[in-house]
Structure 1
Amino acid sequence: MRTDLAASYGEERLPRYTSYPTAPHFSSAIGADTYARWLSELPAGASASLYLHVPFCREMCWYCGCHTQIVRRDGLIAAYQRTLRSEIAEVAKTIGRRIKVEHIHFGGGTPTIMAPEAFAELMAAMRHSFFVLPSAEIAVEIDPRTLTTEMVEAMRLSGVNRASLGVQSFDPVVQRAINRVQSYEQTASVVDMLRQAGIAGINFDLIYGLPHQTVASCLDTVRRALELGPDRFSVFGYAHVPAFKKHQRMINEAALPDGLARHDQACAIANALKEAGYVQIGLDHFARPDDAMAVAFEERTLRRNFQGYTTDKGEVLIGFGASAIGHLPQGYVQNEVQIGAYAQSITSGRLATAKGYGLTDDDRLRADIIERIMCEFSADLGDICARHGAEPKAMLQSASRLKPLISDGVVKLDGDRLAVANDSRFLVRSVAAAFDAHLDPGKQLHSRAV
């Protein structure tokens, strides 16, 4: 990997492209009535994935970029769970039939903050309203510091088969600087509990670019994490946006590594995981060679959605909960971000859609190109444009940001086929951004490119 390119491109703030167009371009022109119509128009053979957002935590991690709030009273969580059940019923009624579900993902916040019986009731509600396939992947994000044996049992009985554990860093200095003190022993104990319960799919989340983090501390975290043998790793660069996430102001900016240091940390983590036998997948995921995600990467069927890289092939993602985003063939929808406004809409018998985006033909074309670049580090523009009735030459001419990337050797163009150079793959977001017709470089809405 080339440090000269990291210096040239690394400071630019770009989307992670978990959607196209990205969420800042959603507008209130898309509301509950539009969402209801889109749901009612879903094709008869459509299958869906479900995402449930649980926006509560016991304490705030200062690096967090999620929509969440600190809660001490369990009554608030119980009331929110009842609202989720009502929303599930309302969405199913609007669709008008039990559609197939192949993936369910609980995100947060901390989904396992719910009472075990409440979690089981939510799963039962989804199985009642949707046809959850026996082979469905059911995944839950977990904070190892608060997981109980009772919740693990509820997850087992509910059919959960994948758990994503927040690790971030095992360095105690870094942990104190981000207000997330989590011992290796806590993490190891949770992994053991999950495996004993038959929840075999284990993911770890790691972060680089945190305060006081060094290449040495990153490598030590990787070494200790590998001892626990997770199937997948997600490795993210910390996005410091204190103007949007006020709790990030608690982080000492002077202790944050610069762009080149972040680049070195990312490379060190990637190299260590690859040396351990993991396959690097796209921008920031790693998986064992026999894992379904690695297989999808090899077979070029990998997809990208709001949870990152996924094996989910469906065109319908239904989001439940405050701030949750959904993706339908017609476009994107997002629920009210504030929990009170979300709950008021649902308890009034309305969908909670606050904003969204209706896709144009050009959006769909660009979304396909960007997804292939993000998933495969390449894109056959001739094939993709042909499917959309477009001309690859016109698309390349519109991508003015591509020219310097080609000149710098980041991108290689062979006819209509574009490929990111192997030593420049860390700049895949910069390449994807060349096809983003909505990108406003002047707005600091995203994380650094490196």
Structure 2
Amino acid sequence: MNAPFALPHALRDLARRSVPRYTSYPTAPHFTSAVTAEVHAEWLRRVARAGSPVSLYLHIPFCRTICNYCGCTTKASLRDEPIRAYAAVLHHEIALLAAHLGRAEVSRIHWGGGTPNILPPDCFEAIVRDLGDRFAFRPDMEHAVELDPRHVTPEGARALASLGVNRASLGVQTLDPAVQAAIGRVQPLPTVRAAFESLRSAGIEAINADLMYGLPFQDDDSVAATAELMLSLAPSRFAIFGYAHVPWMKTHQRLVDEAALPGPEERLSQAAVARRILEGGGYVEIGMDHFAHPDDPLSVAQAGGRLRRNFQGYTDDDAETLVGIGASSISRMPWGYAQNAADVPGWRRAIEEGRFAIARGKAFDGQDAMRADAIEAVLCRFEVDLAAVAARHSAPVSVFDEDVRRLRHFVNAGWVDVDGSRVSIRVHRHEIARLVASEFDAYLGHGGKHSVAV
């Protein structure tokens, strides 16, 4: 049995607070229709004029079945026809992007979903070929895809490798049979092991494993058993995410037995148990919830102060522009965020009419970009030099005075240090990083509901 995680009473109370995950700032609840297709098009033309490299994210919003815990924008499809039709529209969107970006240099491609490997192989290949014809792939480009282990085959893995895919993320979540049954995702260890073997046999050595805590019927021993079993498969990276129970947004989560969900104290303990096991297995902590081999690019980026955070979590990607392709995908450019329509029919209509399918977004104004920098620093390095951040944005450091005052309860608890303009998290870094970051969020409390902090 694992020793229980001792929690200060104040930390237990704070863990009940709801705050964003801050994969963007401003966060999605504050996107509006003020960012239009025309605004997005102009931002893309600016990127083209600057000759800046871009990263591409392609969203495939289909799964064979929907897992009860899922928080993604996806839908179930047992037939290939809707998926093929969707892929056909992706080609039109890629052409539209190329007309605005020109032959931009691409530093990263990331496929997410849904289940990207649900795409028929000929569709996947055609899209990659189309991207390669229209854009300039860097020789060292990372080409990553999120995969459902239940749908990874030796043939499929070889096809991905032949198209330049060099990193895969496997959604493992848990290896506890009772928890798997409760979340509607049954994939025993042999299935996961076979996926690893297929990818490695195909030459894809960089494999990430995504795990979760806070799922129904999970406890410390359940989380520990999964982490220890996964160590035997030696992924390149781990991501350990807390289950976000948001049934008001994802109605299928109403299938989750709320009475079986761990409470804040149990969630904190489960996260600590997983962290202890992975660190003991030789992995380097990356930010709040990632772990990587010491020689992994993510570890190297963290050591060199180049760690970033975006919609895929922690990254070493240095491109300032991330272009989203597909329904619901979000683009980030130096001037703000733009999100495609989430409904596939609406997205399709816009693209087939020859215009971008932008439904909403947020142009940076006021202190947005500056506060985004401060929040990213807290989440990537657990410290921020507010004077340096303010100087980069030609602002006085005094703009952060009220934010620093709100940190006083963390300082009085001995968890956070404030030394001049430098704010550092001393203890409970993983547990309070999002809470500390939220004190620099000028929008928090003005609309939007979020998951609990841990």
Q: TM-score, normalised by structure 1?
A: 0.97
Between 1:58-67 and 1:399-408, the stretch displaced more is 399-408
1:209-224 paired onto structure 2 within 5 Å: 209-224=214-229
**Is the aligned partner of 1:283 residue 2:297?**
no
Structure 1 residues not aligned, in runs of 5+: none
Identify the residue that residue 383 of structure 1 maps to in structure 2: 388
Identify the residue that residue 449 of structure 1 maps to in structure 2: 453
Cα RMSD of the aligned pairs, angstroms, is 1.2
Identify the residue that residue 84 of structure 1 maps to in structure 2: 90
Given that 1:26 and 1:355 are in contact with CA atoms closer than 8 Å, whether structure 2 keeps it comes out as: yes
Q: Deviations over 1:368-408 (max 9, x none)?
A: 11001010000111211111112223312245532222222
**Distance (Å, rounded) in 2 between the aligned partners of 1:5 and 1:205:** 30
* Offset, 1:88: 0.7
Identify the residue that residue 325 of structure 1 maps to in structure 2: 330
SS in 1 for 2:149: coil
**Distance (Å, rounded) in 1 between the aligned partners of 2:131 and 2:404:** 43
SS in 1 for 2:110: strand
**Distance (Å, rounded) in 2 between the aligned partners of 1:254 and 1:47:** 48
**Is the aligned partner of 1:350 residue 2:355?**
yes
**Distance (Å, rounded) in 2 between the aligned partners of 1:47 and 1:5:** 45
SS in 2 for 1:447: coil
Given that 1:278 and 1:287 are in contact with CA atoms closer than 8 Å, whether structure 2 keeps it comes out as: yes
Q: Deviations over 1:148-196 (max 9, x none)?
A: 3332122111100000000000000000000000010011011011011
SS in 2 for 1:396: helix
* Offset, 1:431: 0.4
* Offset, 1:4: 2.5
SS in 2 for 1:254: helix
**Is the aligned partner of 1:71 residue 2:84?**
no
Identify the residue that residue 184 of structure 1 maps to in structure 2: 189
SS in 1 for 2:58: strand
Seen in structure 2, the aligned counterparts of structure 1 residues 5 and 200 have a Cα distance that, compared at 3 Å, is farther
Given that 1:316 and 1:329 are in contact with CA atoms closer than 8 Å, whether structure 2 keeps it comes out as: yes
Given that 1:6 and 1:263 are in contact with CA atoms closer than 8 Å, whether structure 2 keeps it comes out as: no
**Distance (Å, rounded) in 1 between the aligned partners of 2:153 and 2:354:** 34
Seen in structure 2, the aligned counterparts of structure 1 residues 404 and 37 have a Cα distance that, compared at 3 Å, is same
* Offset, 1:74: 0.4
**Distance (Å, rounded) in 1 between the aligned partners of 2:432 and 2:183:** 27
1:83-102 paired onto structure 2 within 5 Å: 83-95=89-101, 97-102=102-107
**Is the aligned partner of 1:142 residue 2:142?**
no
1:264-279 paired onto structure 2 within 5 Å: 264-279=269-284
**Distance (Å, rounded) in 1 between the aligned partners of 2:318 and 2:13:** 36
Aligned structure 1 segments of 4 or more residues deviating by more than 6 angstroms:
none
Given that 2:35 and 2:338 are in contact with CA atoms closer than 8 Å, whether structure 1 keeps it comes out as: yes
**Distance (Å, rounded) in 2 between the aligned partners of 1:188 and 1:317:** 32
Given that 1:48 and 1:318 are in contact with CA atoms closer than 8 Å, whether structure 2 keeps it comes out as: yes
State the AA in 1 paired with 2:312: Q
**Is the aligned partner of 1:166 residue 2:171?**
yes
Between 1:152-161 and 1:3-12, the stretch displaced more is 3-12
Between 1:59-68 and 1:383-392, the stretch displaced more is 383-392
Given that 2:212 and 2:243 are in contact with CA atoms closer than 8 Å, whether structure 1 keeps it comes out as: yes
1:22-61 paired onto structure 2 within 5 Å: 22-42=27-47, 43-61=49-67
Given that 2:284 and 2:294 are in contact with CA atoms closer than 8 Å, whether structure 1 keeps it comes out as: yes
Q: 1:360 aligns with which of 356, 361, 365?
A: 365
Given that 1:46 and 1:99 are in contact with CA atoms closer than 8 Å, whether structure 2 keeps it comes out as: yes
SS in 1 for 2:88: helix
* Offset, 1:220: 0.3
State the AA in 2 paired with 1:449: A
**Distance (Å, rounded) in 1 between the aligned partners of 2:390 and 2:176:** 47
**Distance (Å, rounded) in 2 between the aligned partners of 1:359 and 1:346:** 25
1:397-408 paired onto structure 2 within 5 Å: 397-408=402-413
* Offset, 1:361: 4.4
State the AA in 1 paired with 2:360: K
**Distance (Å, rounded) in 2 between the aligned partners of 1:369 and 1:320:** 28
State the AA in 1 paired with 2:73: H
Structure 2 residues not aligned, in runs of 5+: 1-5
SS in 2 for 1:41: helix
State the AA in 2 paired with 1:313: D
* Offset, 1:45: 2.6
**Distance (Å, rounded) in 1 between the aligned partners of 2:355 and 2:428:** 50
**Distance (Å, rounded) in 1 between the aligned partners of 2:403 and 2:383:** 18
**Distance (Å, rounded) in 2 between the aligned partners of 1:357 and 1:77:** 30
Given that 2:142 and 2:166 are in contact with CA atoms closer than 8 Å, whether structure 1 keeps it comes out as: yes
* Offset, 1:427: 0.7
Given that 1:400 and 1:434 are in contact with CA atoms closer than 8 Å, whether structure 2 keeps it comes out as: no
Q: TM-score, normalised by structure 2?
A: 0.97
What is the total number of aligned residue pairs between the two structures? 448
1:403-422 paired onto structure 2 within 5 Å: 403-422=408-427
Q: Percent identity?
A: 45
Given that 1:331 and 1:359 are in contact with CA atoms closer than 8 Å, whether structure 2 keeps it comes out as: yes
SS in 1 for 2:150: coil
SS in 2 for 1:150: helix
**Distance (Å, rounded) in 2 between the aligned partners of 1:333 and 1:346:** 15
Between 1:417-426 and 1:110-119, the stretch displaced more is 417-426
State the AA in 1 paired with 2:324: G
